[in-house]
Structure 1
Amino acid sequence: MKSFVVRFLAVLLLVSGSLASYAQTIVISDIDDTVRPQYVQDLMDSAKYAFDKDSLFIGMSELLQVIAKDADASVFYVTRAPEWLMAKTHKESLKRGRFPAGVYFPRTVHSKDNHKYKVIEEIIDRTKPSDVIMLGDNGEADPKVYNTMTMMYPGIRFHQYIRDAYNTPKFGGEGTSLYLGQQFFVTPVEVALDLQRRGFLKNSSVRSLVDYLVPRIVAEKGKPKRGVMAFPYFVECRDFLWFWDQEISVYPSLLDLKAKIEKRCNN
């Protein structure tokens, strides 16, 4: 596994120059149920998404593009999905969705159960960032993995965003609960607003995201199964809490987004 990570990071270093010399911020993003729907908690339905290259969560590519640009961040896509099964779908989905260029780390035949831990550890050790923006979901182990990284690197600032895709045991579901310092999101708008508060994103960039995404999210009907979606049919998000009332005066359409989220997540 280590040689696999080193090989791909070496390619990135050659392409971008000495990454460690300027990578103050990096982004580590999961793929399934984070940027594209997979329904990992249902074997039959998950299989239907295994070769779906067009279904995505709305706005995630735009969010990552803005983060990469405004924060001058390098992007790493780290997934536990097996390379032999999902690599083709993942790569094509990222390409079709116009996600920012980055390094892709699937689980290979040589990977162990601790694949994500080891890959992220190697990325951090080699890039030596001051800030790490982490995107994941609560369908599997992302909250635990990301929390472990924060304990391993107390000198690094971590910003952890977990998609609330499944109800936690608090609401009778099997979704993973959050650890201290982690924050649920259900659309990329909440992540953008929080990163703006933390000084990573420009006001103009967030305004563009809000103006572009909110009308599309609010207009979504029912619980879709395919395509570019805000709330696929399987999403359960009763654990989500809204924290952005103070931004409504700046972006009035957030009031509609808040109402949409509350209706969908409590239904």
Structure 2
Amino acid sequence: MKSFWKQLVVIVVLVFAGKGASAQTIVITDIDDTVRPQYVQDLSDSAKYVFDKDSLFLGMSELLNVIAKDAQARVFYVTRAPEWLLGNTHRESLARGRFPGGVYFPRTVHSKDKHKYKVIEEIIDKTRPDDVIMLGDNGEADPGVYNTMTMMYPGIRFHQYIRNAYNTPKFGGEGTSLYLGQQFFVTPIEVALDLQRRGFLKNSSVRSLVDSLVPRIVAEKGKPKRGVMAFPYFVTCRDFYWSWDQEISVYPSLLDLKAKIEKRCNN
């Protein structure tokens, strides 16, 4: 944990020491229902995860570490969750999960509706990136917030990945639908494959992720509620569409992953 926050302090200094700071690529990621389960759409069940520092989405730490290394990207953790309620849980979860060091922005001053807009705008204005990789989920506001950022900064290339944690109204759910330019994902593998196509990740890094994560995802049984999970019990992902058949010839185990995802998301 000390190492994680040592990295965080270093990055804070680098990013916010002055207006002259710049970066080619940055990562902005949500936390709840993106890298760790929270079940934000059910108040009673959501409460069970408030102090859970060990439950995580399988492979998200590995994915973010690879992105940070291959793309030489700075990582920003931006959440609408209030500092007083989830700040300690988030910090411990990121540390225990060995996520890359970064800057953590819980909600402290702004309202719930304004927090992400204000913080992300500040991050972009100070880092002045060429590319922004954005990770979120469709439980609440991420698709809308991220879409607004793309309109505010037309000169920046945005790469938006939204976890399909909840069915959208198309399938009788209350999950948020995607905006133009956004992609659903249900495991970190789809994000890695797409970032490889876009030139951010090395072939060797994606190979490592596929070889280490796919067997664990495929082997998961049932609908778990605690621990490191690919598909927590509350996930409903009927909106997800697999579009990586061309990579199966390179990574044959993707065929098993595709079958696993289609079975789970249609169940």
Instruction: Give the drift of 1:12.
Output: 1.3
Partner of 1:59: 59
User: d(CA) in 2 for partners of 1:257 and 1:19?
Assistant: 44
Q: 1:158 to 1:55 in 2, by over 3 A?
A: same
Q: How far apart, in 2, do the equivalents of 1:20 and 1:257 lie? A: 44
SS in 2 for 1:49: coil
Q: Equivalent pairs: percent with the same residue? A: 85
Q: Could you report, residue by residue, the CA deviation over 1:59-109 in whole angstroms, capped at 9, with x for unpaired residues? A: 00000000000000000000000000000000000000000000000001x
CA–CA distance in 2 between the matches of 1:203 and 1:266? Answer: 31
Partner of 1:98: 98
Counterpart position of 1:208: 208
Using a 3 Å threshold, how does the CA distance of structure 1 residues 125 and 262 change in structure 2: closer, same or farther? same
Q: Does 1:12 align with 2:12?
A: yes
Write out aligned runs for 1:160-199 (5 A): 160-199=160-199
Counterpart contact for 1:20–1:128, Cα < 8 Å: no
Contact 2:11 2:102 in 1 (8 A): no
Deviation of 1:23 after TM superposition, in Å, equals 1.0
The reply on whether 1:88 has 2:88 as its aligned counterpart is yes
SS of match in other structure, 1:81: strand
* Equivalent pair of 2:15/2:127 in contact (CA under 8 Å): no
Aligned partners of 1:14, 1:150: CA distance in 2, in Å?
24
2:24·2:129 contact (CA, 8 Å) conserved in 1? yes
Determine the C-alpha separation between the residues in 2 that align with 1:16 and 1:107: 18
Alpha-carbon distance between aligned partners in 2 of 1:75 and 1:260, rounded to the nearest angstrom: 30
The residue aligned with 2:49 is 49
Q: Distance between the aligned counterparts of 2:224 and 2:21, measured in 1? A: 44
Q: What one-letter code is carried by the residue in structure 2 that aligns with 1:211?
A: D
Contact 1:131 1:157 in 2 (8 A): yes
- Which residue is equivalent to 2:225? 225
Q: Is the 8 A contact 1:23 1:128 kept in 2?
A: yes
What is the distance in 1 between the residues matched to 2:201 and 2:251? 15
Structure-1 residue corresponding to 2:139: 139
**1:13 Cα deviation (Å)?**
2.9
SS in 2 for 1:77: strand
Describe the shift of the 1:37–1:90 C-alpha distance in structure 2 as closer, same or farther (beyond 3 A). Answer: same
Q: 1:10 to 1:101 in 2, by over 3 A?
A: closer
After superposition, the CA RMSD in angstroms is 1.7
The change in CA–CA distance for 1:20 and 1:172 in structure 2 (over 3 A counts) is farther
- 8 Å contact from structure 1 (residues 25, 130) kept in 2: yes
SS of residue in 1 equivalent to 2:48: helix
The one-letter code sitting in structure 1 at the alignment partner of 2:217 is I
Aligned counterparts of 1:168 and 1:256: Cα–Cα separation in 2: 26
Output the CA distance in 1 between the equivalents of 2:29 and 2:124: 13
Query: Structure 2-normalised TM-score?
Result: 0.94
With over 3 angstroms needed to count, the CA separation of the structure-2 counterparts of 1:9 and 1:28, relative to structure 1, is farther
Partner of 1:148: 148
Secondary structure (helix, strand or coil) at the match of 2:40 reads: coil
**How far does the alpha carbon of each residue in 1:11-57 deviate from its partner, in whole angstroms, 9 at most, with x for none?**
71348977955510000000000000000000000000000000000
Kept in 2, the 8 Å contact 1:61–1:97? The answer is yes
Letter of the 1:44 counterpart: S
- Matched with 2:32 is 32
SS in 1 for 2:221: coil
Q: Output one character per residue of 1:240-266: Cα deviation in whole Å (capped at 9) or x when no partner.
A: 000100000000000000000000000
Distance 1:20 1:230, change over 3 A: farther
Aligned partners of 1:63 and 1:95: how far apart in 2? Answer: 15
Partner of 1:111: 110
Distance 1:265 1:163 in 2: 12
- Structure 1 residue matching 2:121: 3-state secondary structure: helix
Q: After superposition, what is the alpha-carbon deviation per residue over 1:125-168, rounded to whole angstroms, capped at 9, x for unaligned?
A: 00000000000000000000000000000000000000000000
1:261, 1:21 → 2: CA distance?
A: 41
Corresponding letter in the other structure for 1:183: Q
